[in-house]
Chains A and B, each alone.
Chain A
Amino acid sequence: KDFRLGLITPPPHVWTKAAQAFGDELAEKSGGAHSVTVFPARQLGNEAQMLQQLQTGALDMAFMTVAEVSNRVPNMGAFYAPYLANDMSHAAAILRSDTAKGMLEVLPQEAGVVGVGYGSAGMRQILSRGEVSSAADLAGVKLRITPFDPILDFYNLLGSAPTPMPLPAVYDALANGQVDAIDMDVELINVLKYYEHADTLLISNHMMFPMVGLISARVYAGMSAEDKAMVSELMAKHVDTTLDAYIEKSPAWTEKLNTVGINVHTVDAAYFGDVMGKWEEIWAAKAPSLPDLRAAADATK
């Protein structure tokens, strides 16, 4: 069978390359019985639309941010606990834990997709137009976020004015002061040159930003047992490579941002005061796996 795999990243991106590599290896291991056509750069729609296509079986597979899945399965919001992971390596260890893998079990019933394993898009940082000398300076600040609940709660607790905005609008919005700050990762701050219109970068690593490899539950149900095993195993292997890619590349991206002429402050959990505790209170109710995930995080430190 020729599987169709959709994702939102452009062709040169780490995710897209992993998807291609997965397709190549699947074709090889199956002796040409299976192949994968990759549809990058939102060709089949945004993540919500692709998830809906996975549910109907129109799309076979996708690499997708956990944020999108967490809109339907709130338990997945646990991954966005502030300072769950200290850095990218720690985030990778957490995402590789059995606890994390176990959280994928309910996806077929609750979202119509089979989750095979996690990848990543790095850690979240805060880039600001104005000087930020303490977390209090972020209060009242218009701050761009991707629209999903865990991150909304984080910035609401911080007293910021979280402003949802699709990625393509961000550069202009930052340039013309429509937002004062953005929640972003070091890769895109570099690649899309967001630093050109900012004064201060907080290397906060306050949240991880995981990705998950998904197969349509409808399509999966129609596959033979051997195919199920081979396809999920290979896909899990290749989404996992993105974790290593980000571990390897993140330091260089961070390093480069030290040389672009903006203030770079490296901050930790203490910087955000009691926000973490309050976030935990809200999400303990919504995400039952949160304590287990914290335990897994402690175990992999």
Chain B
Amino acid sequence: MLYRASHLWARIEVFLAATFAALITGLILLNVVTRSTGNAIYWVDEAAIYAMVWMCFLAASAAIHYRSTIAVTVVNEFVPAPVRYWMERGVDVVIFMFACLMVWICLRWFMPLQLMEAGWDIKAFQGNTFNFIYAEPTNTLGIKKVWVWLVMPVFTLGALLHTTANLFHPGHAAQVEAAE
């Protein structure tokens, strides 16, 4: 059940990441066209960069599900199969711990509880916490940066889902192709 949820979410992540990859290409080409015709668009570069950030973290979370992240496997190749099995379970646990740490880090960063306590009043929240992330602007897009930063909690929750599912669903490190 958990594993199927993880699998479904990984597919959505990969689909979105591919969409962002297409968006990057489109935006950069748009830049070439508009600039060569003298109509340079101010916000395209920044939009392309954020599309790349979203692509990267969404696909990185999915890579945890597919166990397709790049790792040093020198030792794995030399140990007997049972040892290798337990090493891989150990790695699953380490990744699970990483996801938990990321949850804690995102809570420290976004401070959702304190924001709620401040009655969603950002000025009051800033005064209480010295946390200015909800006021941070983007350079050229005209939206608050926090909308773009949201990919970090999305990545974190995705990673937590995938790694929890992997804990109960041992599997061998797959090739990169698995992500396809």
Contacts and interface: CB of A to CB of B under 8 A. Distances in A.
A91 B51 CA distance: 40
A178 B45 CA distance: 15
Interface string B127-140: 10011110111011
Nearest to B45: A164
A140 B137 contact: no
A112 B45 contact: no
B38 interface: yes
B127 A109 contact: yes
Contact of A164 (B38, B39, B136, B140): B140
A161 B40 contact: yes
B42 interface: yes
Interface in B30-61: 35, 38-40, 42, 45-46
Contacts of B40: 142, 161-163
A217 B130 contact: yes
A178 B36 CA distance: 8
A197 B42 CA distance: 24
Contacts of A152: 42
Interface residues on A, range: 20 to 34
Given A55-B131, A71-B137, A147 B35 contact: no
Contacts of A111: 132, 135
Interface residues of B, number: 19
Interface in A156-185: 161-164, 178
B42 A72 contact: no
B68 interface: no
A52 B123 CA distance: 17
B45 A161 contact: no
A81 B127 CA distance: 31
B69 interface: no
Contacts of B46: 147
